[in-house]
Structure 1
Amino acid sequence: MTKVLTEPRSIRIKGRSFLAVVLSPDLPVDQWLERLDDLASRSAGFFLGRPVVLDVADLAIDREQLKDLIAKLASRNVSIMGLEGAKPSMVERGMPPILKGGRPVSDVEVPKPAPDPAAEQIEKDEPQPAPETATQERAPEVRSAVQSLMIPEAVRSGQSVIFTEGDVTVLGAVSSGAEIIAGGSIHIYGALRGRAMAGSVGNSTARIFCRKMEAELVAIDGIYKMAEDLPPELLGKPVQLWLEGDAIKAAKMA
């Protein structure tokens, strides 16, 4: 009788990165929450269903104050997926975990169970493929290039376009309630009525270009500005925006 030996299937654990909004509160927290409420009121649904990381590295608070802040954010429908810059002593069971790095990671290797000696003997008896020699040709290495994303139509309300690898170009309009998030610059050949966030992965040289400025919110490298904060003479006009220090600058295009 031949005994068929099979190895148990291992659990596959994968590493994966996601784009999240990072909030960095400052003191006094109550005043910061008021500014957050103002942002949310002028850009409805901005935090709805969006993963958020809370950066408390520069915030001098204790565990109870941190728990209170997380609770106040939850009451505003701001879901905290993790904490950045928090000391381990500030976190207890039931609180979001501490996150570090934020870089893409590879698959996590799970140790395999020790092989069965009988299975090893059966494997030895089976013919083995010839080892690869140095003379065999290797597949050419694929190098990643600078990428861009082109959207040949309008982005409708409720739609979210996230492309952190480079620039995003929209040939139509971006409706109110829609958003574009790009790692590079954003080019909109129609009206910008929704939200546009360029340089989302730390690119301070990114810019935003649009044919007609009517945005709910614009942001470059984490610095944001509401449409009503822009000079009135730019509203409804072709505009480009860029970052100078910690301020967004805007100018009319010809």
Structure 2
Amino acid sequence: MSDTLSPTGQKPAPVSVQPFQFRGLFLTAIALRLETDAPDDVFYAALDAQLAKTPHLLAGAPMVLDFAQVPEFSKPADVRDMIDNLFARDLQIFGAQNATEAQLNAVKGYGIIPIKVGRETAMPEPKPQKPQKPQPAAKRAAPPVPRNKVVQTPVRSGQMIVAEHGDLTVVGSVASGAELVAAGNIHVYGTLRGRAMAGAHGDESARIFCRQLDAELLAIAGLYKTSETIPAELRRKPVQVFLDDDKLCVEAFE
């Protein structure tokens, strides 16, 4: 077999630098939790109404289907019909979580992959071992300290700031079109525009604090409010955002 030649007829020069990198990516996605095993006209009407309210948030956004509440919804024709309807609405479904084997089989051919979020596999049972002489107890390692992040400058439009293992503090304002993501709490010592998502790994005790609220989106552990659903009387006020009984609450400081 002859050597591969470049378009100029020359052999390509040896590659001294790896032409690619594998890098971890922290991706913000939206989960669509199905709560009916029979999506009908009422389901799609409600979905269309929500899309009309928040087109900038949902249309074209990476999305995961959550089947946790509908394990019986697995008939291939019904599942595929629903996915076709979601794709027709420009909902970019790329993953399925809490799905049964039958549900995963039903979505084959759509490029949808199984997603595991916040689950731990059981540790295998240790094999019996011969008794050994007791050893001095080793000191227990201290738990890892959360890695908090502090941003000393204003966050510009288009920036995404992530604190993957702790709290995020911004000493300044956050512009419209910017995005804050934190595993823990978010503190903004200025005007909060753009999007703020605390408890990104599912911590329902996380909170968002800001001196002046003007946000496009607020979210904690996946539950969110958009600018259209934030009460007008809380605009431009110092507030805290938290979860209470599975509801996202926005409360002004006294």
User: TM bucket by the smaller chain?
Assistant: 0.5 to 0.7
Cα distance between partner residues in 2 of 1:34 and 1:164: 36
The 8 Å contact of residues 185 and 199 in structure 2, kept in 1 or not, is answered as: yes
Aligned to 1:157: 157
Q: Structure 2 CA distance, aligned partners of 1:40 and 1:204?
A: 25
- TM-score using structure 1 length: 0.68
Q: Which residue number corresponds to residue 243 of structure 1?
A: 243
Q: Aligned Cα RMSD in Å?
A: 3.1
- Report the structure number with the largest CA radius of gyration: 1
- Matched residue pairs, number? 206
Partner of 1:147, secondary structure, is coil
**SS in structure 1 at match of 2:148:** strand
Secondary structure, aligned partner of 2:167: strand
Tell me what 2:57 maps to: 46
Give 5+ residue unaligned stretches, structure 1: 1-13, 106-140
What code does the residue aligned with 2:225 have? K
**Whose RCO is larger (CA < 8 A, sep 6+)?**
1
Tell me which residue corresponds to 1:145.
145
Task: Return the match for 2:109 from 94, 97, 122.
Answer: 94
In 2: Cα distance, 1:26 partner to 1:253 partner: 35
1:192 Cα deviation (Å)? 1.4
Q: Following superposition of structure 1 onto structure 2, how do residues 55-74 of structure 1 map, counting pairs within 5 Å?
A: 55-59=66-70, 60-61=72-73, 62-74=75-87
SS of the aligned residue for 1:233 comes to helix
Aligned pairs for 1:11-22 within 5 A: 18-19=26-27, 20-22=29-31
How many Å separate the matches in 1 of 2:178 and 2:45? 24
Q: Cα distance, 1:200 vs. partner?
A: 1.5
Contact (CA 8 Å) 2:97, 2:117: kept in 1 or not? no
Post-superposition CA distance 1:69-120 (Å, at most 9, x none) = 3233333333222212222233254131223355699xxxxxxxxxxxxxxx
Separation in structure 1 between the aligned mates of residue 171 and residue 44 of structure 2, nearest angstrom: 37
Q: Percent identity?
A: 38
CA distance in 2, matches of 1:33, 1:196: 28
CA distance in 2 between counterparts of 1:49 and 1:200 reads: 20
Report how far residue 240 of structure 1 moved: 0.9
Post-superposition shift, 1:211? Answer: 1.2
Are residues 44 and 160 of structure 1, via their aligned partners in 2, closer, same or farther at CA, if it must alter by over 3 Å? farther
Residues 42 and 216 in structure 1, CA contact (< 8 A), matched pair in contact too: no
Deviation track 1:38-84 (CA, whole Å, cap 9, x = no partner) reads: 55544454346654321112224322222223233333333222212
**Quick one: structure 1 residues 214 and 245, their matched pair in 2 at CA, closer, same or farther if it must change by over 3 Å?**
same
Q: Name the residue aligned to 1:176.
A: 176
